[in-house]
Structure 1
């Protein structure tokens, strides 16, 4: 859409409204993955690994416990987000479809966060690695993923390197807590 802008002194110049270009897949992944839902998803997966793997279960059973639990929590999160944002939100009417799409977009990180630890559990299930190794490695990878999420979140906000590292360590602390819990239970 074009318009006329009156500059200083009343002169006219033609302006155009530029639509923002669609985000790249990398940008979508970055903005969808570095979210509170992603952090929550990694902590949820780690907690499920601790609980399900605390009784000497195989990595196959732990994998399915994690996958089913994450899907249920994700669906509940999408539903809650849809209900919470449907209707009058942010001083405007939000359709059910728009609320649902927004909830899907916001909760995407919860599913993505479960992929790496679940993949490691599958290595144990396929007998590529021993069950115990798969379970402990999935927990340690959760710590690393949490650290990366914290680092990126603070970097995106323009924080200093020291704050970025502190943010990474702070976020990773939740993963360390899960490992400590696993060590106590095991």
Structure 2
């Protein structure tokens, strides 16, 4: 029987409640999947809003695309992890669980922009305002993710700001595409 290393249980978030919560934040929210998810959502808003008179079709296209990409990411992660991951023999259930946890950031990163699009679709705010606000919210989320990532690595505060700006630049590029296309 293989004995598990203590750092393996910490990676999975076992231990005290605070350790588990911190692990969940690290593994779900502050990940490349979350950054990718925000960029994906922003790109979908740009593409889906072309020629649409209402935000409703944009909302549904973005939501559908995010769910499909998330499901594909969970599946791909499960297949990649099944068998051997970090020198641990993972069964299918453990591989699926790890992939599901890791891919959560991609799914959750769509929440804020989709909520803003929903406000436009339900006429709580103007359609154009909803589209632009959702894109700018993506920029802010990217900046926060970049800042936290650099902070976790122990970078000095000027590098944390540079990291935030560099990460946010991907969202600004999407806004530039929307302005160019429309």
| Short-chain TM bin | 0.7 to 0.9
Correspondences of 1:36-55 after superposition (within 5 Å):
36-55=32-51
Once the two structures are TM-superposed, the CA of residue 76 in structure 1 deviates from its matched residue by 0.2
- Corresponding position of 2:6: none
Q: Separation in 1 of the partners of 2:42 and 2:16?
A: 37
Once the two structures are TM-superposed, the CA of residue 30 in structure 1 deviates from its matched residue by 4.6
- Corresponding position of 1:20: 15
Larger radius of gyration: 1
Q: Separation in 2 of the partners of 1:46 and 1:57?
A: 18
- Corresponding position of 2:7: none
Q: 1:176 aligns with which of 166, 172, 181?
A: 172
- Normalized per residue, the structure richer in strand is 1
Unpaired segments ≥5 residues, structure 1 = 1-18
Name the SS for the 2:109 alignment partner: helix
Coordinate RMSD, CA, aligned:
1.4
Q: How high is the TM-score relative to the length of structure 1?
A: 0.86
- Corresponding position of 1:163: 159
Q: Separation in 1 of the partners of 2:69 and 2:53?
A: 22
**What is the total number of aligned residue pairs between the two structures?**
168
Q: Separation in 1 of the partners of 2:153 and 2:31?
A: 13
- Corresponding position of 2:88: 92
Q: Separation in 1 of the partners of 2:102 and 2:166?
A: 22
Name the SS for the 2:123 alignment partner: coil
Check conservation: 2:27, 2:102, Cα contact below 8 A. Answer: no
Once the two structures are TM-superposed, the CA of residue 26 in structure 1 deviates from its matched residue by 5.9
